[in-house]
Amino acid sequence: MASRIGYNIEGKAEEILQRTSALWVPVPVDRVALGLNLRVEPAELGDDVSGVLVIEHGIGTIGYNATHPHVRQRFSVAHEIGHFVLHGTQRQLFIDKRYTAVYRRDRRSSTGDHRREVEANRFAAALLMPESLVLREIQDLDFDLADEQALAAFAARFQVSTHAMSLRLGHLRIFSEESQPG
């Protein structure tokens, strides 16, 4: 059930990919950032911090954890791009710890912070795994989601984690090769 917000995030990510000429696999996330005048730098961050976004005078700089695996760094950068695009006028500093924390069900789950984190994650997934490219690539494969190796290979093609791809395919309702992409 795609909410209007979810739909807008999908559209926004696709629009940015087209505007920055970055709609290919694997999505060149650095090129997207560059196209948005965002600086991207490796940073020495605590192990529990994935990425940061600092906005000064409308100019954004993203720092990603230099020690994290490549696929996680890409997701972190995409997540921070999401904050810049979706929330940049609301705040000037974002510090992101383990993403799983934002999914915890607790009393804060209805706060603006939680909503922003969910939106940034949805944007990151849509940016790195745009529906149009996922559908196109999946058609080229003899792909069966039940096959973990095939799923891992498909995730590697997009340079995302297997977990991120699994969530994305579920969100896009692509459960088997019998699905008819609309």
Residues 65-84 that bind Zn ion (CB under 5 A): none
Span near Zn ion by CB under 5 A; candidates 18-26, 42-50, 89-97, 174-182: 89-97
**Whose Cβ is closer to Zn ion: residue 49's or residue 120's?**
120
With binding defined as CB under 5 A, does residue 10 bind Zn ion?
A: no
With binding defined as CB under 5 A, does residue 120 bind Zn ion?
A: yes
CB atoms within 10 A of CB 154: 22
Pairwise CA distance, residues 62 & 168, whole Å = 24
In the chain, how long is the greatest CA-to-CA distance? 50
Residue 157 C-beta: closest distance to Zn ion, Å:
26
**Whose Cβ is closer to Zn ion: residue 123's or residue 154's?**
123
Residue 94 C-beta: closest distance to Zn ion, Å:
5
CB atoms within 10 A of CB 157: 16
β-partners of residue 94 are 53
Span near Zn ion by CB under 5 A; candidates 8-16, 25-33, 88-96, 135-143: 88-96
β-partners of residue 55 are 60
With binding defined as CB under 5 A, does residue 86 bind Zn ion?
A: no
* Contact residues: Zn ion, CB under 5 A: 96, 117, 120
